[in-house]
């Protein structure tokens, strides 16, 4: 008989059991369920709601159950529906009627709200640690490539020269914001709902603040209806993970392009590449492609949660059981992607020769040539026109700007002198951009210094 079956005269159909059960996916919250139950039992005894000796026995037995679960000695049952009822059933099987006292003053509604918050707190910390490792890898690459020059792009067209260090540090900034979002999400997640009951609290004199302190929450929920029906924290967490994956996907897209023969800027290590079953020459960036593909899966989890919650009246509805598979899958996917992406990044070979060649033949120094004329007194729009004609000439003659002779330069403007060659040297183009946040070596070194301080504070 179900633990809630007193009102029913018929047993459930086996199809209903299978359809209604969530143990196949919420079993992973066993530790949080046991720890929450131990804190609840401790409070019940402390408040005199149940006898102190019963509270002590319940706590002792729950700890034993936890050890047995982790040792693989417990089999969860589908007809017990969920992790909460499974653990309570095991408890009652072991200590009889004393175990039936555990659920005094609580509902599965506030119990599951507690468990999922506790579980996701742990996931936030795990993913944050993985993001920090990715940041450290980015910093290592940046330090090793302060003088590596590649073209920066707009519209996927070669635009201006920057350092590879500056380029990868842009992703450091993205990941830093991801960590900030996780930390901010944690604040709203770390609120204790137990004591909300099914929706209207309880007549028992619960000490919610004691349970809050025992379980490491910052505060308790302020409204019992909201306490059991809120899943904003799961949506916010999934939204944050979606942004994480968007950043990984953007980075992956660049790595996929860069590893093609058309770019040749990087080469993936053999350990993070695959071959073709038919074409023996192929070396495919499958890890980066899979990260890009799995981004859609995490987006799907976010849409699932938003759609599930959008039409629900207060308070708890069974629809909300669908939150766990979605948010668990989002977290699992991110935890799968981050370590392999970080290792792939750390082991890739950087082809600086191809990067510098792309700068020269892409006229990445054209803006600097225009700036040179401006500094000689020509209005910018006039300088822009002169250099535009110069680039068209170079395309026709299959030359780069630095391959033009001084006579050819003077054919476009007689104010051009020999110092044009220094002005359009790619290193000059990069390192003269010393504005804070820019690509000059000294600016990037400052950015790295700031980044290291940021990581040290985490």
pLDDT value at residue 80: 84
- Mean per-residue pLDDT over the chain, rounded: 94
Are 245 and 124 part of one and the same domain? yes
Instruction: Give Cα 297 distance to the centre of its chain.
Output: 13
4 pLDDT band (50/70/90 cuts)? very low
Q: What is the CATH number of the domain that holds 98?
A: 1.10.275.10
**How many domains does one find in the chain?**
3
Indicate the range of 109-113, 317-321, 340-344 predicted with least confidence.
317-321
The reported pTM is 0.92
Q: What is the CATH number of the domain that holds 415?
A: 1.10.40.30
pLDDT value at residue 153: 95
**According to DSSP H, which parts of 47-107 are helical?**
52-70, 83-95
Q: What is the CATH number of the domain that holds 158?
A: 1.20.200.10
- Asked, for residue 260, whether it belongs to a domain, the answer is yes
Q: What is the pLDDT of residues 110-146, one digit of tens each?
A: 999 999 999 999 999 999 999 999 999 999 999 999 9
Q: Could you give the CA distance from residue 46 to residue 207 in angstroms, rounded to a whole number?
A: 9
Are 33 and 119 part of one and the same domain? no
Domain final residue, candidates 87, 104, 121: 104
Residue 404 lies in domain: 366-424
Q: Average pLDDT in the 270-275 region? A: 91
Q: Of 12-16, 118-122, 401-405, where does the model show the most confidence?
A: 118-122
Q: Could you give the CA distance from residue 234 to residue 240 in angstroms, rounded to a whole number?
A: 10
- Asked, for residue 129, whether it belongs to a domain, the answer is yes
Domain final residue, candidates 104, 120, 136: 104
Are 222 and 281 part of one and the same domain? yes
Inter-residue contact 279 to 329 (CB < 8 Å): no
- Asked, for residue 307, whether it belongs to a domain, the answer is yes
Are 84 and 187 part of one and the same domain? no
Are 74 and 22 part of one and the same domain? yes
Indicate the range of 131-135, 142-146, 268-272, 296-300 predicted with least confidence.
268-272
Q: Average pLDDT in the 38-43 region? A: 98
Are 35 and 162 part of one and the same domain? no
Are 226 and 351 part of one and the same domain? yes
Are 238 and 166 part of one and the same domain? yes
Are 240 and 168 part of one and the same domain? yes
Q: Could you give the CA distance from residue 376 to residue 51 in angstroms, rounded to a whole number?
A: 91
Are 29 and 162 part of one and the same domain? no
- Asked, for residue 45, whether it belongs to a domain, the answer is yes
Report, as residue numbers or ranges, the catalytic residues.
155, 276
Are 151 and 172 part of one and the same domain? yes
Q: Could you give the CA distance from residue 387 to residue 371 in angstroms, rounded to a whole number?
A: 10
Are 256 and 348 part of one and the same domain? yes
């Amino acid at each position: 008989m179900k633990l809630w079956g007193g009102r029913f005269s018929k047993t459930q159909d086996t199809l209903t059991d299978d359809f209604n059960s969530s143990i196949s996916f919420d079993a992973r919250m066993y530790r949080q369920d046991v720890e929450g139950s131990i804190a609840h039992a401790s409070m019940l005894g402390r408040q005199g709601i149940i006898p102190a000796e019963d509270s002590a026995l319940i706590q002792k037995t729950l700890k034993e159950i936890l050890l047995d679960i982790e040792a693989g000695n417990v089999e969860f049952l589908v007809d017990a529906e969920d992790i909460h009822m499974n653990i309570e059933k095991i408890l009652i099987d072991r200590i009889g009627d004393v175990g039936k006292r555990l659920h005094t003053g609580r509902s599965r509604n506030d119990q599951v709200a507690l468990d999922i918050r506790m579980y996701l707190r742990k996931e936030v910390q795990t993913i944050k640690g993985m993001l920090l490792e990715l940041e450290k890898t980015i910093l290592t690459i940046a330090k090793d490539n302060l003088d590596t020059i590649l073209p920066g792009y707009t519209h996927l067209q070669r635009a201006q020269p920057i350092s590879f260090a500056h380029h990868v540090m842009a992703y450091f900034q993205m990941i830093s914001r991801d960590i900030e979002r996780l930390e901010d999400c944690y604040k709203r997640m770390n609120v204790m709902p137990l004591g909300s009951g099914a929706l209207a609290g309880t007549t028992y004199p619960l000490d919610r603040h004691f349970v809050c302190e025992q379980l490491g929450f910052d505060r308790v929920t302020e409204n019992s209806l909201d306490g059991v029906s809120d899943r904003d924290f799961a949506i916010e967490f999934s939204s944050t993970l979606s942004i994480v994956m968007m950043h990984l996907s953007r980075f992956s897209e660049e790595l996929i392009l860069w590893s093609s023969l058309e770019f040749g800027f990087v080469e993936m290590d053999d350990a993070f590449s695959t071959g073709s079953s038919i074409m023996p020459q192929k070396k495919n960036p499958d890890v980066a492609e899979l990260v890009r593909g799995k981004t859609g899966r995490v987006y799907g989890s976010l849409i699932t949660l938003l759609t599930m919650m959008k039409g629900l009246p207060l308070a708890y509805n069974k629809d909300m059981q669908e939150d766990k598979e979605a948010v668990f899958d989002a977290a699992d996917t991110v935890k799968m992607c981050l370590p392999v992406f970080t290792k792939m990044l750390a082991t890739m070979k950087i082809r600086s020769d191809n990067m510098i060649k792309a700068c020269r033949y892409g006229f990445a120094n054209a803006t600097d040539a225009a700036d040179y004329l401006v500094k000689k007194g020509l209005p910018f729009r006039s300088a822009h026109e002169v250099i535009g004609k110069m680039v068209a000439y170079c395309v026709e003659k299959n030359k780069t700007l630095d391959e033009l002779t001084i006579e050819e330069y003077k054919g476009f403007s007689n104010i051009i002198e020999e110092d044009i060659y220094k002005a359009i040297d790619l290193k000059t183009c990069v390192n003269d951009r010393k504005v804070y946040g820019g690509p000059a070596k000294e600016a990037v070194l400052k950015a790295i210094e700031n980044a290291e301080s940021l990581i040290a504070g985490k």
